[in-house]
Structure 1
Amino acid sequence: MNTKKQIWIWGLLIFLGWMLTLVSSCKDAFENNTYTAYEETPIALYLKNNEDKYSLWVEVLQKANLYNTLNLDAIYTHFVPVNEGVERYLKATNLGAISEMSEEQAAYLVRYHLIPNAKVEFAQFQSGAINELNATDDNLFVDFRNGGLEAVYLNGVSRFNSYDIKATNGIIHSIDDVLVPLVETVYDRLQAKQHWSLFKELVDLTGYKERLETVYTETTDPLGNPIQQRFKYTAFVVSNETYTKAGIHGIQDLLERLEVSAGSDYTNPDNPLNKYVSYHLLDQQRSYADLGKFSENGTKMNLQTMAPNELLKVSESGAGLVLNEDVETGESIAFVEMNIACKNGVVHEVNNWMPLFSPEQVQVIWELTDYPDIEANVSQYRNSNLGSQYNKTFTANELTNITWSARPEYKPNVVTYRNNRPSEGNWYALLNHDHLRAELGESGWIEFKSPTIVKGRYKVSFVWPSPKHSAHTGICAFILDNEIIHARLVISNSREERNLTQAMGTVEFTETADHTLRILSLDGRLITMDYLQFDPVE
């Protein structure tokens, strides 16, 4: 066995061991396994060699027993505070020295500043959440302010002072201050800001407090073992001052504006006050950058809110994103503050009391992996920097917006979420790099609930990754709202693995509502699915 191969195998074994150790243990298992390559240095050694800037953070790494972990032949993105920032942190937490920290505290702090298994370069930063989760399973947020590269902040509190410092095992971004790990939920944010007190009172009255203050939902797997699901939310918050400008000085004024009977059941989803509050909430995290992810050549889209069949319109304007732009008057809603990071989502403040709005038809991209319960059950959801392919097979009780019936009924491994790594060609080129796979058996079916779509006529297309196969396989039919829109589609092809699009005809929706798509398996073979596209027809 040659030396390079030995090094590679040894590095792989170390890395696998680290994956089991980093999250569950604070013990540094790699004290004698530091990796170096020629004259270059890994992350921890680089920091130690630059003690004039990072010596105190090196002490934190050592206290956490993670110093040697960050010298492994692996991939990391590490956000490292300079010495002055660590000193400010110690003073703010009433610590005289790093030695006074417990190993557990130091380890959590390091993990909060660390994204494993990914190199996230400055060029990938957008105004909002970094897609790749850190080692505490949280998103970190990037904030671009006026001042160019000298005014970019992490989590809104720590300024970047240097980017893309290359190490043999990843990238270092140098920051001014230590990040205090987020513990505040969306509800905690509402509660902490006095000028949001009216909106917070509305959340209380309508029964959304519990959702907005919950980080993990406890449930069980099919075998009865306890598991945790993590749901995230987006809140568009209205300040007391903005309400006052609209002539709303308290609950009673809003009830009168919405024509709601005082003392009615505000927790009923059909109650106008409940609809108003849930209209300000999304059941997935959408940072400012996420809100601006339009389809190719698009400048607007409609988002499903938590209010049944009510949509929030997002548009691109000359000054950035706006909400609910009226095409006739040109009036719109602007952001006052954006990307207020929370443990379970994000908050944006808007400059209008934001009543329900009826947007016009726009192109709709119905991505079949875009559901809160898929995200809550998937540990590598839409991760764009995977080192290896990720698969998650679902059981029927894990999802609510997707149901299926397999043949036979006890058939295992029916529905799978797959996220692909960059080296996987057309599979990686799919929307958000992920897709669903189903093997339903002959005459089995899978059914999806669509997002709300504005009434009108649409041209419908289906996009999917087509695997190469010598014979026609994955033959299926498409049924929308109990009407066949495509009687026979062959998923595989005999040429090469590629992404294909099939026009499925034109449909007309007579009301603004959600819809039901059933895909019927005709041969029982693999069906791969990316998204459906609805293009308005004049």
Structure 2
Amino acid sequence: MKRSLVLNRLMRLTLVVFLTLAFVNCTSEKIKEFTDQTLNVTDYLKDNDDYSMFLEMLEVTNYASFMNTYGTYTVFVPNNEAVKKYLSDVGAATVKDVPIEDLKEIVKLHILDQVVATTDFTDGKIATPSQQGQFLITGAANIAGVSSITVNKTSNITASNVIVGNGIIHVIDKVLRVADKTLAKSIEADPNLSLFTEALKATGWYDVLNKPLGTATVTTTTGGTTTTTTTKIGHLSVLTQTNEVFKAAGINSLADLKAKYSHLHDPMNPADSLNLFVSYRILPKLQYLADLAVSQSLETKAPLEVISVKLAAGTILLNEETFNGVLEKGVVVNRGLSDVTASNGVIHSVDQNFFIKKRIPAPVYFDLGDQPEFRQLTSVFRKPGTSAALKKELFKDVTWDGSDALTYVCATKGSSSYQDRAWNGDIIEIFRFRANNTQNLKFKTPVIIKGKYKIWVSYRWKGTKNPTVRTYFNGIALPRLVNFQEQATNTINERVLESQGYKSHISPFTNRFNCRLVGIVDVLTTGRHTITFESLSNPGDTAWMDVVEFRPVDMDQLYPRLESGGSGLVP
């Protein structure tokens, strides 16, 4: 009887287990259909009441759905108090009262098409422009002992690096405003620049700086024939100086300015010294402090004249040069008064009055690997043991035939390849320098001051399967060829070797690098030029190039040498 009860209990337990399994198997399986529950920008704003007014701005401009899709964005989100202050400033009761086109421009100014964390900020321009097209400026402020990051010098970041599903959010306490005044109007609006404004008007440059971006149609009639041309009006950058800077130079009025500089007594004449005084302060292109800091020299609107640039302990110095052993101190760019965005450019300020420097030909040591596209790869550029290959579509100032990438190499110290012995420790690597691979490799040079120069091309030689190359300057073939299979030597007297068109360009000497004189050129205008290399053979191996030197013909062609593996010059 006892055994029968145990069996009955066992059967009932088995039945319960069977029915449970059957029920589980008949129930539809719940599958998690997503792996990331992080909210995108729009949904994040919906979940946070403090940002409801910026969300309304996105909705009114039809950006709300756009900012809820896949992407990699940086959004500067003004809180509700910031939006209320903005509405008050523009005389609007609600977001919908703001003209829709104005609202769209404001919204686009707050969005970048790339994730930029605060750790990527520098004291100046963010490298990626806003969707509106204008760049944002970041900096640091200390108010009552509290430090904060500023944006466009007016807004503080109150919360940063908020990760969302399609990018990152920085919360700000003031709505960013689109720069809608031209350079001329922006300068005129500053009472501290009143004398500079008078100089602009007296020389006709005010009208130039007042032209909006776009195109202009010019019609001319010659001999009964009418010709119409369209000219693009692009960005400009202006180096202004305050009334106090003029006063320190003994200039208190436009009359003083004319007396000092207007040698033709006709400021509207482009050849008049006062006109040149102004045009020397106007730079082509959009150039923020971050751009000035990495430039060796700046082209100006003064014909054939440039401004040299030096970065010293974080200070940008203009025209600081040493001539005949005498240091000519440079003019300091005032960071606090610079990087002011206008609708057609950017405004800077200098702390000292200055005029055009009389320039004599000066050497240019053109490191071929020092290209902006390589320089922006901060984990690679001049970091030993690294390399990067970029397609030609990515370059602004380098072009070539063929589809191969151009490779930058910064060799490991003590490398068996000896590539680390190059100047700055880096080289350009060219895979099969020949037709159908890489051919007609053309570089835009740094600014070269007008004059007569000898051009030297240095390379890492290899005994076989390397090219013979012809060099062109501004499209004109130079007389001497470069044989990448020729080895350097120090067994021949260096002056005898120079007379034969060879030298060692780096010190200490290594026979792994050779340097060839390709010709003498007369540079007719101060500015950037082109140098092109054409392979005349069909080698099967990699070629390497280091530096192109432009040395004035009356300068010693051997000294100073370039520092092997370093960035200096060796007397």
2:269 to 267, 270, 281: 267
2:196 — aligned with what?
A: 199
Following superposition, the deviation at residue 271 of structure 1 comes to 2.8
Q: Deviations over 1:204-225 (max 9, x none)?
A: 33333343223423279xxxxx
SS at match of 1:187: helix
State which structure, 1 or 2, has the greater radius of gyration over its C-alpha atoms: 2
1:27 — aligned with what?
A: none
Please give the residue correspondences for 1:23-102 in structure 2 after superposition, counting only pairs within 5 Å: 38-51=36-49, 53-102=50-99
* TM-score, normalising length: structure 2: 0.62
Please give the residue correspondences for 1:55-454 in structure 2 after superposition, counting only pairs within 5 Å: 55-116=52-113, 118-146=114-142, 150-218=147-215, 229=232, 231-258=234-261, 260-263=263-266, 266-268=268-270, 270-293=271-294, 301-318=296-313, 320-325=315-320, 327=322, 328=326, 331-336=329-334, 337-358=337-358, 361=362, 363=364, 365=366, 451-453=447-449
Distance 1:42 1:393, change over 3 A: closer
Deviates more, 1:362-371 or 1:235-244: 362-371
SS at match of 1:202: helix
For the Cα contact (< 8 Å) 1:485–1:505, is it kept in 2? Answer: no
Given residue 43 of structure 2, which amino acid in structure 1 is its aligned partner? L
Distance 1:107 1:535, change over 3 A: same
Following superposition, the deviation at residue 80 of structure 1 comes to 0.9
Following superposition, the deviation at residue 189 of structure 1 comes to 1.4
Q: Deviations over 1:312-364 (max 9, x none)?
A: 23223346222233543564322342111122221111121211235785755
Distance 1:249 1:507, change over 3 A: farther
For the Cα contact (< 8 Å) 2:44–2:164, is it kept in 1? Answer: yes
For the Cα contact (< 8 Å) 1:216–1:231, is it kept in 2? Answer: yes
Please give the residue correspondences for 1:496-535 in structure 2 after superposition, counting only pairs within 5 Å: 503-505=515-517, 513-514=526-527, 516-517=529-530, 519=532, 521=534, 533-534=548-549
Distance 1:175 1:391, change over 3 A: farther
For the Cα contact (< 8 Å) 1:453–1:513, is it kept in 2? Answer: yes
Q: Deviations over 1:172-192 (max 9, x none)?
A: 121111111111221121111
1:484 — aligned with what?
A: 478
For the Cα contact (< 8 Å) 2:435–2:535, is it kept in 1? Answer: no
Distance 1:206 1:478, change over 3 A: farther
SS at match of 1:303: strand
For the Cα contact (< 8 Å) 1:130–1:141, is it kept in 2? Answer: yes
Following superposition, the deviation at residue 85 of structure 1 comes to 0.6
Following superposition, the deviation at residue 478 of structure 1 comes to 1.4
For the Cα contact (< 8 Å) 1:369–1:417, is it kept in 2? Answer: no
Following superposition, the deviation at residue 89 of structure 1 comes to 0.6
Distance 1:91 1:267, change over 3 A: same
Q: Which runs of 5+ in 2 are unaligned?
A: 1-32, 218-228, 379-389, 412-425, 485-512, 552-558, 561-571
Given residue 471 of structure 2, which amino acid in structure 1 is its aligned partner? F
Distance 2:342 2:65 in 1: 31
1:32 — aligned with what?
A: none
Distance 2:212 2:516 in 1: 40
Q: Deviations over 1:391-450 (max 9, x none)?
A: 8799xxxx9x99xxxxxxxxxx998999x9xxx985999x9x9x9x99999x99979686
For the Cα contact (< 8 Å) 2:448–2:526, is it kept in 1? Answer: yes
Distance 1:319 1:391 in 2: 33
Deviates more, 1:105-114 or 1:504-513: 504-513
SS at match of 1:153: strand
Following superposition, the deviation at residue 87 of structure 1 comes to 1.0
Following superposition, the deviation at residue 283 of structure 1 comes to 0.5
For the Cα contact (< 8 Å) 2:55–2:64, is it kept in 1? Answer: yes
Distance 1:353 1:310 in 2: 17
Q: Which runs of 5+ in 1 are unaligned?
A: 1-34, 221-225, 295-300, 372-379, 403-412, 465-470, 491-500
SS at match of 2:338: strand
Distance 1:445 1:205, change over 3 A: farther
Distance 1:390 1:447 in 2: 15
Distance 2:370 2:213 in 1: 21
Distance 1:532 1:306 in 2: 29
Given residue 238 of structure 2, which amino acid in structure 1 is its aligned partner? A
For the Cα contact (< 8 Å) 2:447–2:528, is it kept in 1? Answer: yes
Distance 1:508 1:136, change over 3 A: same
Distance 1:323 1:509, change over 3 A: farther
Distance 2:207 2:393 in 1: 28
Given residue 40 of structure 1, which amino acid in structure 2 is its aligned partner? T
Distance 1:535 1:455, change over 3 A: same
For the Cα contact (< 8 Å) 2:366–2:446, is it kept in 1? Answer: no
Following superposition, the deviation at residue 533 of structure 1 comes to 4.8
Distance 2:191 2:349 in 1: 13
Distance 1:530 1:92 in 2: 58
Given residue 255 of structure 2, which amino acid in structure 1 is its aligned partner? Q
Following superposition, the deviation at residue 121 of structure 1 comes to 2.0
SS at match of 2:481: strand
Following superposition, the deviation at residue 86 of structure 1 comes to 0.8
SS at match of 2:153: coil
1:17 — aligned with what?
A: none
Following superposition, the deviation at residue 263 of structure 1 comes to 2.9
Given residue 519 of structure 1, which amino acid in structure 2 is its aligned partner? T
Distance 2:216 2:201 in 1: 25
Distance 1:445 1:60, change over 3 A: closer
Distance 1:306 1:370 in 2: 24
* TM-score, normalising length: structure 1: 0.66
Distance 1:530 1:98 in 2: 58
Distance 2:447 2:516 in 1: 19
For the Cα contact (< 8 Å) 1:132–1:383, is it kept in 2? Answer: no
Distance 1:64 1:177, change over 3 A: same
Deviates more, 1:104-113 or 1:480-489: 480-489
Given residue 216 of structure 1, which amino acid in structure 2 is its aligned partner? L
Distance 2:159 2:192 in 1: 35
